[in-house]
Structure 1
Amino acid sequence: MLPIKLPGLPMFLCFTDLDGTFLNHDDYRYDAAVPTVQALKKLDIPIIPTTSKTKAEVINLRRELGLQDPFIVENGSGIFLEPGDQRFDFSGLDLNIAVNQGFTMITLGITYDQARQNLQDLATQLGEPLRGFGDLGLPELRALTQLPISKLKQAGDRQFSEPFLRPQADLKILETLAAEAGLQILVGNRFCHLLGAGAGKGRAVNLVRQAWQKAHPDQGPVKTIGLGDSPNDLSLLDAVDVAIVVPGPQGVNPKLLPHSLKKGWFIAPEPGAAGWAGAIEAQLQKFVGP
């Protein structure tokens, strides 16, 4: 069934980061957001995870929440959707589209093997070892992330990008070297991420929006809402109509605060899942009413 459009309600797509946004920063729980997720589902509003997480991690979360909507992984390196989902039409957009383990996969970035090799090459140029996710043992990763072993294995099932520990050298030097190699580096709360220049949360959001509009030519412009908490969400927040910054336990990320003030982005009322829910509910009240 195609999403409904209530009288006076601009239909919107909800793009959301996960870690520190939909999921609490410390315990990764999302209980406080479940009622709001159910409200969005009743309105047939797509909830589109837009995250640094892997496909394996997101599939597990989608299953828990009962979601059937597209999802964007590894910082906009790949878009996945259920085969036959006619709500989104990616044809004619000159994209690398394939079938991957039961999903339609759109690749915007590089392969994981390429990311690993490029990280080694950058380390050589930088003159400093760069320790990627693939170099870290499970005990060390568990200490860094507080994730159980089962979820760490899902996080290690990478296809497009490599998270790595922040180097001691000036990060701007590394970013310049990466750009010269046709790559980019995004800084998250726990890791830096090496990915292809064609990847990006903002680009992925725009493509999903275009695919929706292409499948709904008579609907008119679709509204988009995006939620994020860290610098690697900047392109996501820039790409949407309504940008919402979810604060961390110590407040809004200092690197997001100037952007939010300058651009008038909304600030969620509290951190994590509860803040996510509160911010979405505020937007629903504007569109639907109490």
Structure 2
Amino acid sequence: MRIESLRPAEHLGNVTIHGVRRFLELDSGAPSLPHLQESREVEMVDQQAISDVEKKMAIILPIKDEDLKVFEGVLSGIPHDCLMIVISNSSKQEVDNFKNEKDIVSRFCRITHRQAIVVHQKNPELAGAIADAGYPELLGKDGLIRSGKAEGMILGIILTMFSGREYVGFIDTDNYIPGAVWEYAKHFATGFNLAQSPYSMVRVLWKYKPKLVGDLYFKRWGRVSEVTNKHLNHLISSKGKFETEIIKTGNAGEHAMSIELAKRLTYGTGYAVETKEIMSILEQFSGILPIEDREVAEEGVEILQTETINPHLHEDKGGDHLIQDMLLPSLAVIYHSPLADESVKKKIENQLAGIEGLENNPEIPQVKLIPPPQKMDLAKFSAVIEKYLPQMVLPDGELISRIARPSRLPSSGQFKKVIYTDLDGTLLSPLTYSYSTALDALRLLKDKELPLVFCSAKTMGEQDLYRNELGIKDPFITENGGAIFIPKDYFRLPFAYDRVAGNYLVIELGMSYKDIRHILKKALAEACTEIENSERAGNIFITSFGDMSVEDVSRLTDLNLKQAELAKQREYSETVHIEGDKRSTNIVLNHIQQNGLEYSFGGRFYEVTGGNDKGKAIKVLNELFRLNFGNIHTFGLGDSENDYSMLETVDSPILVQRPGNKWHKMRLRNPSYVRGVGPEGFSRAVTDIILPME
């Protein structure tokens, strides 16, 4: 794809709205040779980059009693790697249109070797799962999902979250031009490649929207969009000193979002949905109103607008539909927004007063709002809906890819073994940090496809270094349970997480490093004052990794400079080194606890945390393993008191020996003891775990 280079943009706090960019070439060929430079006016996104996004994208296809031939054409335009999710609200009475739609999709999927999710908006099982998951705002008085465009779109977002896709796009099924459908999906993928933020939206502007009025007439844009855009732009202009016309896609039915953005937005019912998406972004993230989601604020939100080459040709549903169902709700969500000042409201009132049929209606009705989909408990939804998947996935009975029950799922009565291990003193030598004597055991685990989860005081960077060296692809727990890092696409079913870090989805359990440092500074100052005023306490020296250089950490820990640098990159804990008599040390530790922090001793250093818990992290991760793999049996390998919560939580705790060939004494339920210090003990433990499988 070749697209115009960046156009002017408007910035409202943390929200960036990009001007419309025209597509110049729909197929730009293979990547250009290095010596062939693109024009400054052109930006190219190669086919591989577009394909990579399409594999992570679901396309929602809402349909309600549309022409089936037109529907078939729309299906043919969806890129092969996109997951199709058909949300139907069609008649199931004398003529079962929904059955006909399912038959068409099933035949299409069989011929093209792909899959789709097809559901009816009034499906009682879906409604039950949504109710159980705590999202009743989507349901009507009859307990079923309400009719309406917005409700169908939100259902599509939920199913996209369930499928594990990262992007969700919306394409209407009344489009007469399959090539336009194909182009929309390419716009979505191109836009996400160009976006800098994980919280992004791509909105498509039709270059022409032709109408059949005698001869075919190509009209630039639509009537409702022109009016909605005018008032959106006036609202944005009212927040600054300069007038703008940046918004051109206020009613863009063809649009897409990253799922991280989609699940955070508030939606307006019916045809107010597209305009409300823009308003929700401005209300939640621009900073004009108080911001609650700091993570989104740090990354920012981007709205990208692109102009098509293909025209958009669809059935004309009449003027009354445009005014009552589309224009009035669109302007209502602007009018009733807390961002709208009196000038914005007055312009909308004047606009509606000039429209035939609305001029004598003084009230602008409130649009019903639906809270963000992330309010829903996705794990509960997944647990309920799992058994109904064969009815929803087409072709019938062919559950494949990320939607399918994975082939590695144990059959009834079997269980999958999951191994949690400490690093220092267990997998790694307590003296040299070497894992060489454990390499054969690690190969055995890989051959048996058993997950090996690092659960250590080490940072994300430290653990990732060892995982890359050893070729381990499983989740891992950092900083004594401060966070769980899960590789994207590792689990089949989606789950709630707090942030994205590179290729990982992160579940955060502990207090942030910044807050820990602030509280720790206060606690240490209080402790030092008490020690100075105590006649019985002796001298004490306290230092932490945050106050030390990389070279100092290297000398103190015997880590090389690279490892020392990674050890300093703490996110949920602080490493503290204390030198002093027992009484003075206890005074320091008491003040740490009195200030609401916790500590653990790893043999050389104290790890100070706020809410971190290896055991809690393991419980969270175990639920994800069970949800995706069925029955599991967990093993925990450790060597010190710092591993107690891990060993207490797993089904089978195993202790390896410490230097001096002794085991650390701790009260555990049915612990096993293996001979060997560090990686030698690790190897024997792995052999004992695997032998029953032979």
Query: Which interval holds the TM-score relative to the shorter structure?
Result: 0.7 to 0.9
Choose the corresponding residue for 1:11, options 401, 416, 423.
Answer: 416
Cα distance in 1 for partners of 2:604, 2:495 equals 33
Does residue 158 in structure 1 map to residue 570 in structure 2?
Answer: yes
Matches within 5 A, 1:215-226: 215-216=628-629, 219-220=630-631, 222-226=632-636
Deviation of 1:170 (Å): 5.0
Matches within 5 A, 1:55-94: 55-87=460-492, 90-91=495-496
Choose the corresponding residue for 1:181, options 595, 598, 601.
Answer: 595
Does residue 207 in structure 1 map to residue 612 in structure 2?
Answer: no
Does residue 111 in structure 1 map to residue 516 in structure 2?
Answer: no
- One-letter amino acid matched to 1:133: F
Determine the structure 1 residue equivalent to 2:434: 29
Deviation of 1:114 (Å): 1.4
Cα distance in 1 for partners of 2:659, 2:620 equals 32
In structure 2, the CA distance between the partners of 1:258 and 1:60, relative to structure 1 (3 Å rule), is: closer
Determine the structure 2 residue equivalent to 1:242: 652
Choose the corresponding residue for 1:121, options 522, 527, 530.
Answer: 522
Does residue 47 in structure 1 map to residue 459 in structure 2?
Answer: no
- Count matched residues: 276
Does residue 102 in structure 1 map to residue 503 in structure 2?
Answer: yes
1:229-273 CA-to-partner distances (Å, cap 9, x unmatched) read 1111000010101111111122335xx31425xx33111210011
Q: Secondary structure at the match of 1:189?
A: coil
1:25-83 CA-to-partner distances (Å, cap 9, x unmatched) read 11111111111111111221110000011111111111111111000001110110111
In structure 2, the CA distance between the partners of 1:271 and 1:133, relative to structure 1 (3 Å rule), is: same
Cα distance in 2 for partners of 1:27, 1:88 equals 40
Is the Cα contact below 8 Å between 2:476 and 2:484 reproduced in 1? yes
Cα distance in 2 for partners of 1:138, 1:250 equals 31
Cα distance in 2 for partners of 1:118, 1:241 equals 36
Choose the corresponding residue for 2:604, options 190, 203, 214.
Answer: 190
1:137-195 CA-to-partner distances (Å, cap 9, x unmatched) read 33432232111111101111111110001353455544443333332111111110111
Unaligned runs of 5+ in 2: 1-405, 532-540
Q: Secondary structure at the match of 2:507?
A: strand
Is the Cα contact below 8 Å between 2:524 and 2:592 reproduced in 1? no
Cα distance in 1 for partners of 2:584, 2:690 equals 43
Per the normalisation by structure 2, the TM-score is 0.38
Determine the structure 2 residue equivalent to 1:284: 690
Q: Secondary structure at the match of 1:28?
A: coil
Cα distance in 2 for partners of 1:273, 1:3 equals 29
263-272 or 22-31, which deviates more: 263-272
In structure 2, the CA distance between the partners of 1:37 and 1:160, relative to structure 1 (3 Å rule), is: same
In structure 2, the CA distance between the partners of 1:190 and 1:64, relative to structure 1 (3 Å rule), is: same
In structure 2, the CA distance between the partners of 1:167 and 1:145, relative to structure 1 (3 Å rule), is: closer
Is the Cα contact below 8 Å between 2:457 and 2:479 reproduced in 1? yes
Is the Cα contact below 8 Å between 1:2 and 1:87 reproduced in 2? no
Is the Cα contact below 8 Å between 1:3 and 1:43 reproduced in 2? no
Cα distance in 2 for partners of 1:280, 1:87 equals 27
185-194 or 34-43, which deviates more: 34-43
Deviation of 1:21 (Å): 0.3
Is the Cα contact below 8 Å between 2:599 and 2:608 reproduced in 1? yes
- One-letter amino acid matched to 1:157: Q
Does residue 257 in structure 1 map to residue 665 in structure 2?
Answer: yes
Cα distance in 2 for partners of 1:8, 1:64 equals 35
- One-letter amino acid matched to 1:195: T
- One-letter amino acid matched to 2:509: L
Is the Cα contact below 8 Å between 2:482 and 2:510 reproduced in 1? yes
1:195-248 CA-to-partner distances (Å, cap 9, x unmatched) read 11x2111111111001111224xx33x100001111110000101011111111
Choose the corresponding residue for 2:640, options 213, 221, 230.
Answer: 230
Is the Cα contact below 8 Å between 1:89 and 1:215 reproduced in 2? no
CA-based RMSD: 2.2
Cα distance in 2 for partners of 1:268, 1:170 equals 36
Q: Secondary structure at the match of 1:269?
A: strand
Identity of aligned residues (%): 28
In our comparison, the structure showing a higher alpha carbon Rg is 2
- One-letter amino acid matched to 1:264: N
Determine the structure 2 residue equivalent to 1:141: 553
6-15 or 239-248, which deviates more: 6-15
Q: Secondary structure at the match of 2:621?
A: helix
Is the Cα contact below 8 Å between 1:89 and 1:212 reproduced in 2? no
- One-letter amino acid matched to 2:552: E
The structure with higher relative contact order (CA 8 Å, sep 6+) is 1
Per the normalisation by structure 1, the TM-score is 0.87
Q: Secondary structure at the match of 1:25?
A: coil
Is the Cα contact below 8 Å between 2:418 and 2:633 reproduced in 1? yes
In structure 2, the CA distance between the partners of 1:103 and 1:180, relative to structure 1 (3 Å rule), is: same
Cα distance in 1 for partners of 2:407, 2:628 equals 10
Is the Cα contact below 8 Å between 1:4 and 1:44 reproduced in 2? no
